[in-house]
Structure 1
Amino acid sequence: MTMFGLKEAEVSELIRAVSVDGASLDRDAIEERFARSAWSGIAEPGDRVAGVLIRELGPAAALSAVIDRLPVEGVRVMLGTESDVVEKDLRAALDRWVPRLTSATALTALRQAVRFGVRLTVPGDALWIAGVDDLEQHAPIALWMRGNVVGLAGLERSIAMVGARAATGYGEHVTMEGAAGLVDRGFAIVSGAAYGIDGMAHRAALASHGYTVAFLAGGVDRFYPSGHDALLTRIVENGCVISELPCGAQPSKWRFLQRNRLIAAASQATVVLEAGWRSGSLNTANHAASLGRPLGAVPGPVTSAASAGCHRLIRENLATLVTTAEEMAELAGLWDTDATATAPTDDPLRIRVLDAISTRAARQPADIAARSGLSLTDVMSTLGALDLEGITRETQKGWVRRILRDS
Structure 2
Amino acid sequence: MSEITRGPAEVGDDERLARAALSRVFEPGEPKTGALLRTSGGASPLLERLRAGEGPPKGFTKARWEGLTARALRADPQRDLERAATVGARFVSPGDLEWPSQLDDLQDTRPLGLWVRGPADLRMWSLRAVALVGARACTDYGTYLAGALAVGLAERGWVVASGGAFGIDGAAHRGALGVAGGTMAVLACGIDRAYPPGHARLLARIAEQGLLLGELPPGEHPTPSRFVTRNRVIAALTRGTVVVEAALRSGALVTARAAERLGRHVMGVPGPATSGLSAGVHELLRGQAHLVTDAAEIVELVGEIGELAPEKRGPLVPRDLLSPEAASVLAAMPARGVVPAESVALATVTAKDDVIARLYELQALGFVERDGDGWQLTRRTRTTASAGWERGGRV
Smaller-chain TM-score range? Answer: 0.7 to 0.9
Q: Does 1:50 align with 2:27?
A: no
What is the aligned partner in structure 2 of residue 224 from structure 1? 195
Secondary structure of 2:121's counterpart equals helix
Letter in 2 for 1:326: A
Structure 2: how far apart are the matches of 1:248 and 1:109? Answer: 9
What is the aligned partner in structure 1 of residue 298 from structure 2? 328
What is the aligned partner in structure 2 of residue 130 from structure 1? 101
Shift of 1:213: 0.7
Q: Does 1:172 align with 2:156?
A: no
What is the aligned partner in structure 2 of residue 289 from structure 1? 260
Structure 2: how far apart are the matches of 1:320 and 1:96? Answer: 45
Normalising by structure 1, report the TM-score.
0.71
Normalising by structure 2, report the TM-score.
0.73
Alignment of 1:8-407 (within 5 A): 13-14=1-2, 16-21=3-8, 29-56=12-39, 57-72=41-56, 87-89=58-60, 91=62, 94-103=65-74, 105-150=76-121, 152-315=123-286, 317-333=287-303
**Residues 132 and 93 (structure 1), Cα distance of their counterparts in 2 relative to 1, 3 Å cut:** farther
Unaligned runs of 5+ in 2: 306-395
Structure 2: how far apart are the matches of 1:52 and 1:90? Answer: 16
**Higher RCO, 1 vs 2 (CA within 8 Å, ≥6 residues apart):** 1
Structure 2: how far apart are the matches of 1:291 and 1:91? Answer: 34
Structure 1: how far apart are the matches of 2:278 and 2:45? Answer: 49
**Residues 186 and 17 (structure 1), Cα distance of their counterparts in 2 relative to 1, 3 Å cut:** closer
Letter in 2 for 1:44: E
Structure 2: how far apart are the matches of 1:334 and 1:39? Answer: 38
Asked if 1 retains the 8 angstrom alpha-carbon contact of 2:53 and 2:69, the reply is no
Structure 1: how far apart are the matches of 2:284 and 2:67? Answer: 36
**Structure index of larger Rg:** 2
Asked if 2 retains the 8 angstrom alpha-carbon contact of 1:274 and 1:298, the reply is yes
Structure 2: how far apart are the matches of 1:292 and 1:104? Answer: 36
Count of residues in Structure 1 that have an aligned counterpart in Structure 2: 304
**Residues 126 and 104 (structure 1), Cα distance of their counterparts in 2 relative to 1, 3 Å cut:** closer
Structure 1: how far apart are the matches of 2:107 and 2:63? Answer: 21
Shift of 1:19: 2.2
Asked if 2 retains the 8 angstrom alpha-carbon contact of 1:151 and 1:211, the reply is no
Secondary structure of 1:193's counterpart equals coil
Structure 1: how far apart are the matches of 2:75 and 2:239? Answer: 38
Question: What's the Cα RMSD here?
Answer: 2.1
**Residues 268 and 233 (structure 1), Cα distance of their counterparts in 2 relative to 1, 3 Å cut:** same
Shift of 1:110: 2.3
Letter in 1 for 2:7: V
Q: Percent identity?
A: 42
Shift of 1:334: 9.6
Asked if 1 retains the 8 angstrom alpha-carbon contact of 2:32 and 2:59, the reply is no
**Residues 122 and 49 (structure 1), Cα distance of their counterparts in 2 relative to 1, 3 Å cut:** same
**Residues 234 and 153 (structure 1), Cα distance of their counterparts in 2 relative to 1, 3 Å cut:** same
Structure 2: how far apart are the matches of 1:282 and 1:158? Answer: 18
Structure 2: how far apart are the matches of 1:251 and 1:302? Answer: 34
What is the aligned partner in structure 1 of residue 326 from structure 2? none
**Residues 95 and 332 (structure 1), Cα distance of their counterparts in 2 relative to 1, 3 Å cut:** farther
Asked if 2 retains the 8 angstrom alpha-carbon contact of 1:161 and 1:189, the reply is yes
Letter in 2 for 1:51: G
Structure 2: how far apart are the matches of 1:49 and 1:299? Answer: 38
Structure 2: how far apart are the matches of 1:334 and 1:269? Answer: 13
Shift of 1:96: 4.5
Secondary structure of 1:102's counterpart equals helix
Runs in 1 of length 4+ with deviation above 4 angstroms?
A: 90-93
Unaligned runs of 5+ in 1: 1-12, 77-86, 336-407
Asked if 2 retains the 8 angstrom alpha-carbon contact of 1:294 and 1:334, the reply is no
Letter in 1 for 2:227: F
Shift of 1:324: 1.2
Deviations 1:351-380 (A, max 9, x none): xxxxxxxxxxxxxxxxxxxxxxxxxxxxxx
Asked if 1 retains the 8 angstrom alpha-carbon contact of 2:22 and 2:72, the reply is no
Structure 1: how far apart are the matches of 2:202 and 2:50? Answer: 40
Structure 2: how far apart are the matches of 1:282 and 1:96? Answer: 32
Secondary structure of 2:59's counterpart equals helix
